């Protein structure tokens, strides 16, 4: 059975509760909090209900239910343990058209009373369609841990600013998009720090950005602007781009982090949620792609592990970014890890600069340090490693310009995208003097639920990886710091999904 969720305005309306036990008292207090005029029908009541009646807080009829008790009621609750009574109340409610909730008796319910969490003007209701009130209560508790006083104060601030924002941004569609941008921004962080003026200032900045965009487009669009305003905000610039002299948009190169969607930066997530166009790689989590606005164009440009027909050349990606920005759109180029750590972000910036397209870089958490950390391996250690080097495996297969003699002496060597070239990497390091017994590890799918770690020595690592059948994406760590993993948790604190399925060999 599926129920339609609503929030009822009970202020000044009559509600009838059949029953006088502890559950009935809980329902009565909830109805009173909503402003209802409550009548309780029960031969016996709790002390709390008797007190409310003595204080004229409720009307109390000390007798069993009888037909006609729902006369004039706008809503009713049957809080008895007697299914026969519930059936009688249900029959009257159906005849009179009065919505009825029978506690723990779904067959005699026309509505479900959800588990509710209130914080200021914020109300969150959880329903399991009557199947498990206990689960609903536990989910409410989790929600309560997420929504607290800061959210309530933020809500009050937004309500206070609503008339002013309506005056400053008169177009309804633009204003709606702006509200989403505000609530997705870092304005609430000021509220959490108790800086309400800082929150107001941040919201003012977001309003001014939208007004500046509107004023920039206004003199050029004329009557076309009126047609454009009939479209959602993310499509307005598309309509404006039909004019040859339209202003260019902007491209944001955003680092998505090493894999776990919770490791994107707050700034990166804010920009992602304002995208007109999202251009993303293979290693970007689907849940991050889902953070783009509903009307955004999402374009997958990721390279598959072994290539494929769907792969796009880098010059095609560059052309795509330039084309969408020239239409006046906000383009988010979402890249795994950090855009400037083996991500070809610099090449994309060069192409945008050459095309005269504005761009900004939002750094991300690089897998070079985050993935080893997720496996309990620090890349530096006061006693073991005072430096580390990061190389890409693409430079290790075949002809290489890397200084292997120097790399063999680096305390910690991290290799990204080096799984396929691992035999060549270990062979070159050994040939240039690295100790065969140096601890080494490979972490596959780092920070993700499927994370696996294989630990061996430099001399045996390639064979161990072949035995275990690890697949990309994978990060290689070589150095004494790998030994520290035995002392540290392999499940890094703070990850959305803890690592699991670890395989190790001393």
From 1.10.10.60, 3.30.70.1530, 3.60.15.10, 3.40.50.720, which CATH number describes the 14-113 domain?
3.40.50.720
Q: What is the average per-residue pLDDT within 354-377? A: 94
What does each C-alpha distance from 379 to 9, 159, 228, 440, 498 come to in angstroms? 59, 48, 52, 12, 20
Q: Is the predicted pLDDT of residue 281 greater than 70, yes or no?
A: yes
Q: Which pLDDT tens digit goes with each residue over 23-63?
A: 999 999 999 999 999 999 999 999 999 999 999 999 999 99
Q: If pLDDT is split at 50, 70 and 90, which confidence band does 176 have?
A: confident
Q: If pLDDT is split at 50, 70 and 90, which confidence band does 489 have?
A: low
Residues designated catalytic:
281, 303
Q: Which pLDDT tens digit goes with each residue over 83-134?
A: 999 999 999 999 999 999 999 888 999 998 888 888 888 888 888 887 888 8
Both tokens assigned to 266 = 């707050």
Q: Which CATH architecture does the domain made up of 368-486 adopt? A: 2-Layer Sandwich (3.30)
Domain with CATH 3.30.950.10 in the chain: 368-486
Domain with CATH 3.40.50.720 in the chain: 14-113
CA atoms of 105 and 130, how far apart (whole Å):
8
* pLDDT value, residue 311: 58
Q: Is the predicted pLDDT of residue 433 greater than 90, yes or no?
A: yes
This prediction's pTM: 0.57
> To the nearest whole percent, how much of the chain has pLDDT over 70?
86
CA atoms of 334 and 328, how far apart (whole Å):
19
Q: Which of 61-65, 331-335, 500-504 has the lowest mean pLDDT?
A: 500-504
CA atoms of 472 and 395, how far apart (whole Å):
16
Torsion sign over Cα 439, 444, 448, 449: negative
CA atoms of 360 and 364, how far apart (whole Å):
13
Which range in 84-93, 225-234, 297-306 is most confidently predicted, on average pLDDT? Answer: 84-93
Q: Is the predicted pLDDT of residue 497 greater than 80, yes or no?
A: no
* pLDDT value, residue 57: 93
CATH number of 250-362: 3.40.1010.10
């Amino acid at each position: 059975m599926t129920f339609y969720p609503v929030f009822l305005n009970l202020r000044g309306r009559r509600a009838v509760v059949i029953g006088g036990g502890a559950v009935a008292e809980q329902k009565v207090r909830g109805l009173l909090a909503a402003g209802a005029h409550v009548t309780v029908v029960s031969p016996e009541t709790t002390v709390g209900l008797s007190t409310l009646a003595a204080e004229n807080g409720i009307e109390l009829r000390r007798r069993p239910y009888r037909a006609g008790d729902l006369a004039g009621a706008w809503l009713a609750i049957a809080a008895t343990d007697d299914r026969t009574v519930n059936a009688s109340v249900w029959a009257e409610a159906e005849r009179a058209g009065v919505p009825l909730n029978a506690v723990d008796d779904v067959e005699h319910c026309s509505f479900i009373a959800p588990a509710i969490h209130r914080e200021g003007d914020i109300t969150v209701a959880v329903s399991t369609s009557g199947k498990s009130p206990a689960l609903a209560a536990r989910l409410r508790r989790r929600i309560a841990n997420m929504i607290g006083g800061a959210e309530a104060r933020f809500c009050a601030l937004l309500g206070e600013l609503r008339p002013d924002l309506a005056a400053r941004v008169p177009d309804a569609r633009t204003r709606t998009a702006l509200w989403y941008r505000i609530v997705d921004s870092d304005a609430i962080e000021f509220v959490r720090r108790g800086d309400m003026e800082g929150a107001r200032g941040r919201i003012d900045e977001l309003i001014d950005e939208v007004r500046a965009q509107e004023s920039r487009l206004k003199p050029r669009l004329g009557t076309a602007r009126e047609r454009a305003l009939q479209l959602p905000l993310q499509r307005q610039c598309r309509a404006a781009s039909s004019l040859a002299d339209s202003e260019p948009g902007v491209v944001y190169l955003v680092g998505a982090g090493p894999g776990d969607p919770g490791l994107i930066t707050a700034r990166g997530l804010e920009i992602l949620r304002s995208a007109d166009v999202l251009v993303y790689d293979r290693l970007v989590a689907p849940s991050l792609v889902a953070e783009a606005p509903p009307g955004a164009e999402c374009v997958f440009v990721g390279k598959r592990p072994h290539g494929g027909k769907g792969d796009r050349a880098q010059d095609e990606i560059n052309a795509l970014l330039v084309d969408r920005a020239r239409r006046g759109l906000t383009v988010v180029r979402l890249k795994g890890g950090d855009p400037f750590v083996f991500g070809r972000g610099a090449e994309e910036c060069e192409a945008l600069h050459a095309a005269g397209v504005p761009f900004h870089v939002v750094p991300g958490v690089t897998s070079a340090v985050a993935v080893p950390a997720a496996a309990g391996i620090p890349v530096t250690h006061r006693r073991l490693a005072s430096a580390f080097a990061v190389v890409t495996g693409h430079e290790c297969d075949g002809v290489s310009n890397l200084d292997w003699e120097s790399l063999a002496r680096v305390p910690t060597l991290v290799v990204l995208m080096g799984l396929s070239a691992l035999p060549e990497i270990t062979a070159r390091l050994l040939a240039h003097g690295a100790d065969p017994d140096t601890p080494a590890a490979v972490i596959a799918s780092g920070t993700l639920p499927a994370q696996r770690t294989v630990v061996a020595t430099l001399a045996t690592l390639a064979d161990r990886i072949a035995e275990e059948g690890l697949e990309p994406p994978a990060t290689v760590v070589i150095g004494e710091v790998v030994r520290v993993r035995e002392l540290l948790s392999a499940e890094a604190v703070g990850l959305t999904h803890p690592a699991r399925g670890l395989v190790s060999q001393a």
